[in-house]
Amino acid sequence: MANKIKLAEALLRRKELNGKVDVLSQIKEKDLFEIRAKRTPISDSIDDIVAQVPKLTASQVTAEFDFYARQLRLVDAAIQQANWTTEIEVNDTVMGDYKKQE
């Protein structure tokens, strides 16, 4: 369902979504696990034992990232459409180049 919002609201939402997407894109696989147990060698024939326990599943992070990335694309497309179809009124000199006054 489409709702009409002010362009300023869309610009703020785009900034918010950009932040969320940036944060989620920074999550690395090492951030998904924590070390809960570590065993030191008892003898030469026994190796260290390290247990990793998942904090989150990769699918949880991926789903959230995908959701916010899609929302960002949609709001950005709406802003770009407004950018190309909206005309504004400006002073005649705004679009002109500098001319040296003599």
The low-confidence residues of the chain, meaning pLDDT below 70, are 28-44, 46-48, 52-55
Question: Would 90 be classed as within a structural domain?
Answer: no
Question: Would 100 be classed as within a structural domain?
Answer: no
Token pair of 74 as six digits: 């949609």
Token pair of 24 as six digits: 């989620």
By the 8 A CB rule, do 23 and 68 touch? no
The residue assigned the tokens 């369902």 is 1
Conformation bin of residue 64: beta by default, left when phi > 0, alpha when psi is -120 to 50: alpha
pLDDT at 1: 72
pTM over 0.85: no
Question: Would 91 be classed as within a structural domain?
Answer: no
pLDDT at 91: 84
Q: Which domain holds residue 64?
A: 7-84
Domain count, the chain: 1
